[in-house]
Amino acid sequence: MAEDSKRYNDFGDFLKNIFPYKVQKISVNAGFTCPNRDGTKGRGGCTYCNNQTFSPDYCHTEKGVGEQLDEGVGFFSRKYADMKYLAYFQAYTNTYERFDKLIPKYEEALSYPNVAGLIIGTRPDCMPEDLLCYFAELAKRKFLMIEYGLESTLDRTLELINRGHTHAESEEAIRRTAAKGIYTGAHMILGLPGESREEILHHADVLSALPLTTLKLHQLQLIRHTKMAYDFSKRPGDFHLYEVDEYIDLVIDFIERLNPSIIVERFVSQSPKELLIAPDWGLKNYEFTAKVHKRLAERETWQGRLFTPAST
């Protein structure tokens, strides 16, 4: 077993192996929409989604990509003069637009001084082949990661939360993207309503069989002004909102089953306090991560301890 700090495959080390300098993600809201909101796939969006939660204060839609980068880079460069940046197209569905409108936004970010690459968040059902071919070419000259929101591997759950796509579509998008040599990430929400503890942990087995570079785990959060918040107010018994220590043991059980080659980028997400109904753990990301490290050491365990290729 490796030293304590390396009990899981860490995103910081992944970046250090690629870049010989510090890199920081800067969120960019390019003003795209989402097919699950505009009626193409559905209306109202995923039941947990209030898109305001994605955007830091500097990230307003009326501002252009360059202007948002100015503000984000300005913020960080005061502290670290030699830092470089990854433009993170995070809000909504960042591949859902006409090709001739998408590419200039990506290229604008790439031409910004000290931007070393892009991270593009999107849905698994929004990756047309021509765009994927553009990304494959881009990945040869710049850092590029495509992050897919999966949230669950169970179709029953995807339907319940109104995702508007199936798990088969998630798998197909991940395989097509990775096959083009592009770093491929996934988001999952742990604790969605109707999923048992064993079903949650089984997601790790399913994901382990996929050609994923990175994985972000998020706790289920109830966000104001969402359909899920309304459902919770009507049927609280359908939900299990984790206490922090209980969730830490859940994520450790999860990564024990996870393929050790997958980089674990996050364990939690933090929605703005004014939008969050529950759970409010009052912990910053780094504080939560420190608790995971401590608990991994106490349990003398590590990512992939229970993973066997046959189990996938």
Point out which residues bind ligand SF4 (CB under 6 A): 34, 36-37, 45-46, 49, 51, 92-93, 123, 149
CB of 249 to ligand SF4, least distance (A): 27
30: its two tokens: 């390019």
Cα–Cα distance between 193 and 252 in angstroms, integer? 20
CB of 299 to ligand SF4, least distance (A): 33
CB of 45 to ligand SF4, least distance (A): 3
DSSP string, 91-141: SS-TT-S-HHHHHHHHHHHHTSTTEEEEEEEE-TT---HHHHHHHHHHHHH
Distances 33 to 54, 101, 119, 127, 191 between C-alpha atoms, Å: 13, 13, 17, 15, 26
The helix-helix angle for 167-179 and 129-141 (nearest 10°) equals: 40
Task: Give the residue nearest to ligand SF4 (CB).
Answer: 45
Would you say 131 or 258 has its CB closer to ligand SF4?
131
CB of 78 to ligand SF4, least distance (A): 31
Would you say 58 or 92 has its CB closer to ligand SF4?
92
Would you say 51 or 61 has its CB closer to ligand SF4?
51
Cα–Cα distance between 19 and 300 in angstroms, integer? 31
Would you say 36 or 271 has its CB closer to ligand SF4?
36
The one-letter amino acid code at 164 reads G
Would you say 88 or 92 has its CB closer to ligand SF4?
92
CB of 121 to ligand SF4, least distance (A): 8
Distances 67 to 28, 72, 73, 114, 115 between C-alpha atoms, Å: 10, 9, 10, 14, 13
CB of 158 to ligand SF4, least distance (A): 11
Q: Are 84 and 20 in contact (CB under 8 A)?
A: no
CA-based nearest residue to 106, from 117, 98, 92, 96: 117
Cα–Cα distance between 161 and 165 in angstroms, integer? 10
Would you say 9 or 219 has its CB closer to ligand SF4?
219
CB of 96 to ligand SF4, least distance (A): 9
Would you say 46 or 204 has its CB closer to ligand SF4?
46
